[in-house]
Amino acid sequence: MEALVPSEQATTGQCVPDASLKELSFYHASEGKPLATPWQVAMTRADYIAQFDLPSGVVLDCACGSGIQLAAYASRLKRPALGVELDRQRAVASCLNLNTIATRYSTFDQGWHRRSLLFSGDGTSSQEIASQAGLESGSVALLMLDPARPRNSRTHGLDEMQPNLPSVFEAWKPYLALTQHGPCIVLDLSPRLTQELRDGVETIVESFWPGVDKTWTWMSRGGGRVDRLELWIGGVATPNVTKRFVRLSRTFGGDDAVIEQGDDMKQERRALQPARRNEWVTILDAALVESGLVDAWLSEQLSNVADTRWDESSPRRPRIHHNGPLKDSSHPFVVASGRVVEILDLPLDETNIDAIVATALANDISALTIRCSVDADIQPRLQGSIDRQLRNRQGRRKAFLTRHATTNHLLLCAQYPKNSDT
């Protein structure tokens, strides 16, 4: 077990611009860059953690990788960082990244940074680490864990995490400071965990801290994918909130879109009916649907959720049909929303593209986006033809083209300005 002091670590290697903030660069090692947490994600988590009343003590990451998330927590909370990484080169990179953040925020000589330590070794060797770091019982204010897992695998078992949850909890439980809600723990887990595996994680947690509060958090940077799945435990779990979905702002420092839920809320899925003119069609963020929080969000957006009909034939474009407009059709959870103005019994191909454009012009459409599955070889040609023919025309509305799942009819959906009844 080798101890490294970040403030004494000489700079080595090449830094790489961060994926979310290009003016900030981090060090990586041993193919660590693809696994690194973008700074926007790291700081969003740190800002959420800062809202809780944490006990005194260090921030511990016992599988810290490049240390970017550890640097965000430590600098935001002004708590000493204690990182452990099996790969020595990554441990050195963690030191350098802590220095980078301390320099950026002009806190290099502050106590949190001067008292930070990195260890190259096994993250479950708690007694040896505690002895060298001078830790006593209850010295860890926040434990975070992002265990390694098989790469390029659609699924994996809980026993494939390294280090695994039981060994980490067993090793560090004596050192965790307790609040009235239990210890403060954040688990950064694979977004691909099934419900069965998430239940398994909860079972492990319960075996160490029975009845402790738990908040699952899904985080997305857009594109319909879940980028991060976390379980917030004990003193950092939000009371009466079991699930949270966070859609990060498109710009660093912007406002995130958040939906939270307590008890499970599951509306009965109504079957899709034949398409009708003047009904509304909304394509939702697939990551929101995957999180299981879509019903809670729809209850805020629609006056009568029971009128919702689901077309989930495409996981990439989950779609609902409903009788009235959303309260906020420009919400970040919405890919597109509009009213059906035409139903076309035509294949979407180059033979029919002129007829589709003519229908769009007849409905005062200035821009039309294809939002349904089309052969990848012809989709650019179809969209390009639509764009060229509508360019510089006098239409006033934007629209999208989607396909009804059961009839295969094309639906031309006009997007209306916010709060418009037109």
Based on the fold, state whether residues 221 and 318 are members of the same structural domain.
no
Based on the fold, state whether residues 116 and 190 are members of the same structural domain.
yes
Based on the fold, state whether residues 103 and 217 are members of the same structural domain.
yes
Q: What is the pLDDT of residue 267?
A: 63
Q: What is the pLDDT of residue 418?
A: 46
Based on the fold, state whether residues 212 and 321 are members of the same structural domain.
no
Copy the structure tokens of residue 192.
């691909």
Confirm if 81 and 58 have CB atoms less than 8 A apart.
yes
Based on the fold, state whether residues 256 and 305 are members of the same structural domain.
no
Q: What is the pLDDT of residue 176?
A: 96
Q: What is the pLDDT of residue 422?
A: 38
Single out the residue in 205, 227, 261 at which a domain terminates: 261
CATH number at residue 371: 3.30.2130
Based on the fold, state whether residues 245 and 314 are members of the same structural domain.
no
CATH number at residue 84: 3.40.50.150
Tens digits of pLDDT across the chain (422 residues): 898 999 888 888 788 888 778 888 988 886 656 667 888 889 999 999 999 999 999 999 999 988 999 999 999 999 999 999 998 999 999 999 999 999 988 888 888 899 999 999 999 999 999 999 999 999 999 999 998 776 655 566 777 778 889 999 999 999 999 999 999 999 999 888 888 999 999 999 999 999 999 999 999 988 888 888 999 999 999 999 999 999 988 777 778 889 998 876 666 677 778 889 999 999 999 899 888 898 889 989 988 777 888 886 566 788 999 988 999 888 989 999 999 999 999 999 999 999 999 999 999 999 999 998 888 889 999 999 999 999 888 778 999 999 998 888 999 999 976 434 43
Based on the fold, state whether residues 70 and 216 are members of the same structural domain.
yes
Q: Give the number of domains in the chain.
A: 2
In a domain, 20, yes or no: yes
In a domain, 268, yes or no: no
Based on the fold, state whether residues 38 and 140 are members of the same structural domain.
yes
Single out the residue in 202, 228, 261 at which a domain terminates: 261
- Residue 159: how many other CB atoms lie within 10 Å: 10
Based on the fold, state whether residues 165 and 257 are members of the same structural domain.
yes
In a domain, 266, yes or no: no
Please give the model's pTM, rounded to 2 decimal places: 0.83
In a domain, 170, yes or no: yes
In a domain, 375, yes or no: yes
In a domain, 270, yes or no: no
Q: Residue 116 sits in which domain range?
A: 2-261
Based on the fold, state whether residues 248 and 287 are members of the same structural domain.
no
Based on the fold, state whether residues 357 and 325 are members of the same structural domain.
yes
Single out the residue in 228, 261, 294 at which a domain terminates: 261
Q: What is the pLDDT of residue 255?
A: 84
Based on the fold, state whether residues 253 and 289 are members of the same structural domain.
no
